[in-house]
Amino acid sequence: MKLGLIAGNGRFPFLLLDAARAQGLAVTVAAIREETDVEIEQRAAADAGISVHWLSLGELSRLIAIFHKEGVTRAVMAGQVKHKQIFSSIRPDWRLAKLLLNLRTRNTDMLLGAVAKVLSDEGIELISSTAFLEPLLAREGVLTERAPDEEERKNIEYGLGVAQAVAAFDIGQTVVVAAQACVAVEAMEGTDAAIERAGALMRSLDRDEGEADFPGLKSETWGTRTETSPQGPRTWGTQDRGADTASTLARKLTVVKVAKPNQDMRFDVPVIGVRTVETMARAGATCLSVEAGRTLLFDRDALLERAGALGIAIFGSARG
């Protein structure tokens, strides 16, 4: 049997490809020029059971033609395709243009659901993207050695309500919280960018306070800080300065990621990996909550080891 793989960016397509080949399936990869890593060609060159066909995001008719020619009747979508691409200069073919014009809204569910319907009408069933990766789904409870502390648990509880409300509108699946206040909400930019934005906002508070301490004088460095004062330069670490100008509320960030209320597991499944926790560490985030049973943990062992080294707690939350 032959499986069709519509490959976006990231490691997801490679993990799914390996899992399908381990089950003895030949795989026809529809690689998206604007998204898919060229490493996919190397995989195909080393394995006669894999064939790769490159196409643009706008070429829906070509995708169907490739699958028909290869005898594909079942396919999976794996890997991100940035939602902002709908505003890019990519030219849709007649079939995709018709689909876009007939959509009531152009959110992820509507777009991919419509593509799935077109494929189905052409005899190509789009199946769950987790069909071959069930062991990578997050389980419920504490996933790292360190459990969330009391403040982080409060942030998770608050963040789940906000994230689920936002996800219900198919805006994004991630929120970043500090002291039970929402600092950032994911939209088209993606999870990592939302986390980075939250971190930048918190760092801006430090800059604002530094300028308030010494009006007209700019700080030279931040982190392990050296600042210029009327009495000359002085240096302190972040925690020392926090004691000097203590905030009433804790500033450490908690990231909460959920699935949509009626998540279609065929596409846009929540995913985290090593890059997620490294982005969190740079932003000053100390805790990550994911939805158990509906979030994929890529490179699980490496992810949990890296999270532990960075002092980040990861928790699998049950859907309320």
pLDDT at position 10 over 50 = yes
Give the helix/strand (H/E) hosting 226: strand 225-229
pLDDT at position 219 over 50 = no
Average pLDDT over residues 290-294: 96
Dist. CA 239–CA 66, nearest whole Å: 58
pLDDT-based confidence at 319, cuts 50/70/90? confident
pLDDT-based confidence at 279, cuts 50/70/90? very high
- Left (φ > 0), alpha (ψ -120 to 50) or beta: where does 47 sit? beta
> Where do the H-state alpha helices sit in the chain?
12-22, 39-45, 60-70, 94-102, 108-121, 150-168, 191-213, 238-244, 274-283, 300-310
Residue with the two structure tokens 């032959």: 2
Residue with the two structure tokens 């805006």: 171
| Whole-number average pLDDT of the chain | 86
Sign, Cα dihedral of 39, 41, 43, 45: negative
Dist. CA 205–CA 227, nearest whole Å: 15
Of the segments 81-85, 194-198, 243-247, which one has the largest average pLDDT value?
194-198
- Position 110 scores a pLDDT of 81
pLDDT-based confidence at 267, cuts 50/70/90? confident
Dist. CA 181–CA 312, nearest whole Å: 20
Task: Classify 244 as helix, strand or coil.
Answer: helix
Dist. CA 33–CA 112, nearest whole Å: 18
- Joined together, the tokens standing for residue 305 give 């080891």
Length of the chain: 320
* pLDDT, tens digit (0-9, with 9 covering 90-100), for 132-173: 998 899 999 999 999 999 999 999 999 999 999 999 998 899
Burial class (CB in 10 A: 0-12, 13-18, 19+), 143: buried
Average pLDDT over residues 266-288: 94
* pLDDT, tens digit (0-9, with 9 covering 90-100), for 65-124: 999 999 999 999 998 877 676 666 578 889 988 988 888 887 777 888 889 999 999 999
